[in-house]
Amino acid sequence: MPRVKKSDQPPPQTANYETFINRVTEAYPNLSDRFQQVARFITQNPNIVAMKSINALAEECGAHPSILVRFAQHFGFAGFKQLQVVFQSRLSTAAPGYRERISALDVDLEKNKRKGNLGFLHDLVVRDIATLQGLLNATSEESLAKAARALKNANTIFIAGQLRSEPIAKFLRYVLSMLQCRVILLDPAGGLAPEMAQVMNKNDVLVAIAFRHYAKEVVSIADVAAHNATPIVAITDSQLSPLAKNASVLFTIPEDEYSFSRSLAAPMCLTQAIAVALAALLQEDKDGSPQIPTVTGNQRRKP
């Protein structure tokens, strides 16, 4: 009987992207440190994994290419190339046109390196378009509705977001306050955020927001919420995020790594969608729409 080459082997049952990611998430605590490093990278950068060579990915991941190969084989693939096909299939179905936009952008920027700041803006805009498309395809009606119900039913809504996530947390506090919800922003002023979080209970809800490289205090607050049986709505970048393990509702927004600036367009858009979903629920219990007082609004009401 002829010997079957590894390259000719059929892909394992984990060849579906969602199934593969779920399996990696379940196996993650028992993986070696190197494999955990690879797992974090590929779940947080699925678009990059689909498009770049193994050598380029190894450099970005900080691991030798052989580690990527062994990681793929650990999950039943013949090699990394076969695993990469899973990510490429996801990209072609979840974000049509992404590959073409990125390729066109790379060519454009190569031709116009002297355009400086405008070239960087072009880069950010195209990547935001791709990330927003991914957000649209990855977010379900059920998740938005569940998050809105959790916020509506909570006695108090606690919000934790620091470092890059702080603007998102503050914006969410603003819109929820305008909806007349009881909101507490767990900011680091005075270093009391972990102590403030201790009062959370099962009748409250915590919205925890964190992306690489996760703010330690936000992760700590999420752990307090889990200990107190407080429901958690988590906005993060992957299923391997430290916020994911105890989340009642999990929203993931994988993003490309930037050397300095990483856009907030997608998480801000998601935050707005959650607020609108909540407003729709509150509208069922009230007459009229929520009113936000403004100077121009007051002027319009004058005779």
> Where does 141-283 sit in CATH, by number?
3.40.50.10490
Structure tokens at 246: 């105890």
163 contacts 215 by C-beta, under 8 angstroms: yes
Distance CA 125, CA 20 (A): 30
Within this chain, domains 9-94 and 141-283 share the same CATH topology: no
Phi-psi region of 40 (alpha: psi -120 to 50; beta: other; left: phi over 0): alpha
* pTM (two decimals): 0.70
**Tens digit of pLDDT for each residue in 232-267?**
999 998 888 889 889 999 999 876 554 455 778 999
Torsional sign, CA 35, 38, 40, 46? negative
CATH of 9-94, one of 1.10.10.10, 1.10.510.10, 1.10.357.10, 2.40.50.100: 1.10.10.10
Query: What are the residue ranges spanned by the domains of the chain?
Result: 9-94, 98-138, 141-283
Q: pLDDT tens-digit profile of 185-240?
A: 998 666 778 888 899 999 999 999 998 778 889 999 999 999 999 999 999 988 88
